Amino acid sequence: MGELEHKFEVKIDTTENKQKLPDNVKAELKETGMMDEKGKLKLKGVSPKMLKKMKQEFVQCPVLKEEIQFVQCFICPNFQSRVMGKVLCKGDPLK
């Protein structure tokens, strides 16, 4: 299998502080069924233990040019894969 096409390799950083998802991201998650009405994330194929870890991670997004929570990166259409502490990002402009 060949390597995934990507523009950026973004390092995943961690923090001990609890991070909050922006309201527009929460609305998008609820719309797509990845978050219930109470605000609990429901990502298919992601264990509760991994989800807890993902909530404490963030990346410096090369497309949005800002620091975002990893969960926001994970649901982005540019997200390719997570490999050894890095995210492979397509780098396409977002709508």
Domain ranges of the chain: 8-89
Question: Rounded CA gap, 79 and 6, in Å?
Answer: 9
Which pLDDT does position 62 carry in this prediction?
A: 94
As given in the structure block, the two tokens for residue 22 are: 């922006």
- DSSP element (H, E) containing 9: strand 8-14
Which pLDDT does position 64 carry in this prediction?
A: 93
pLDDT values of the chain reduced to their tens digit, one per residue, 95 residues: 456 778 999 999 998 887 788 898 899 889 989 999 888 888 888 898 988 888 899 999 999 999 999 999 998 999 999 999 999 999 999 87
pTM, 2 dp = 0.83
Which pLDDT does position 43 carry in this prediction?
A: 85
